[in-house]
Structure 1
Amino acid sequence: MEELRLVIVDDHPAILRGVAASLREFFPQASITSCATAEEAVSLDPEPQIALLDVHLADDSVPADNVRILCDIGCEVLLYTQETRRTLVSSCFRAGASGIVAKNDDLEYLVSAIRCVQAGEPYLTPDWAAALDDDQARIPNLTPRESDALRLYATGLPLKSVARRMGVGEQTAREYLLRARKKYTEVGRPADTRTDLYIRAVEDGRLPGPEPL
């Protein structure tokens, strides 16, 4: 295998330092860098081959969007997370993620996952594979504009403000929301109210969940 170029995308400095130091013991010739956002990762030169991506970042970015950003530069994405919501993780795989490892797993699992992805193979435990297979059909394929309208409206903005932020007419913004609701209904996850839309957006990683008390 060619020399590995790995980037760890995480906003916890202690995790960045600890994981990087541990991985250097197993990949002594690898180039291992770290950053706090997906946008920072794509600006690296040379571009990374594998990104170890935390699902939840402090910039409140959409997890699936971060996966797409990294995949667009030809990077393989390995989710490194404590996230257990199947629909959210499934949305990341639909966006192009190649595997997932829990942060509380032993280091050997992370090393195996990196080697697997480096060899061009996906990395999934049997439990995750079964769960994702069940959920793939339950995540609606929203267009970027439908997703934008859903996120803005679900956070409490009135429709007029949603339209203004999107740079469209109020009727167009309403149509985006109606399409999003219809797609959720079609997959058996109706979202008839603003609260329903907020719940679906959080479940699928389109919005961050509430901060713990």
Structure 2
Amino acid sequence: MDSWLIIATIMMLFFLISIWMAAAKWAAKQWYLLSLLTMIGAVITYGVLQSPRPEPKPENAMFKSMTAEDLMAQLQVQLKENPNDAGLWFQLGQGYLLNKELDAALICFDYAIQLTEHPSSTQLAAKATALYYLGSQQMSGEVSLLLEQALQLEPYNEAALSLLANDHFISFRFQQAINTWTYLLDSNDPKLDREAVIRSIHQAKALMNTSTR
């Protein structure tokens, strides 16, 4: 679990770096796309880590030396043994999402949802994210519906709200982006990276002020 926490932390640090880069050339959407995928991936990773898991066995120590590719391969092996494990499908989809293999990620998230009696907000937000980027960052009806369902289950779902806020941001709807990020801060979630959200708000305010001059 420690290795996954390190990965999530690194991903979030990269998000902060990408925001700094965007400040230097804010119209370059590719930087913000990369930062958003990184942040959402970290959020999803953290959510998976918070779910109840069995006590680690001594032999699991070998996973600490595995690369991301090794972990993906291990998940695929486990899925061959237990193809109806929704959690494994979701984790595999998460890996594909972080690698920007969006078609594969969408397939995995679909399986995870189909195998879950009551899909979670995290699953729905993850599928929405994959669809959003497969659709060239278009907020389609299906993406909007998935996000709406996710937020009905969990009004302060960080992945869903982050996707909405960043869609507003790259579409130059800075006030809507600020409102969404501010709403996310109201959650008082101790796991939320408040510094990253506040930085995003400040950046949106600066760009909004620049565009009105």
Determine which structure has more spread, i.e. the larger CA radius of gyration. Answer: 1
TM range (shorter): under 0.3
Say which structure is richer in helix.
2
Say which structure is richer in strand.
1
TM-score, with structure 1 as normaliser: 0.28
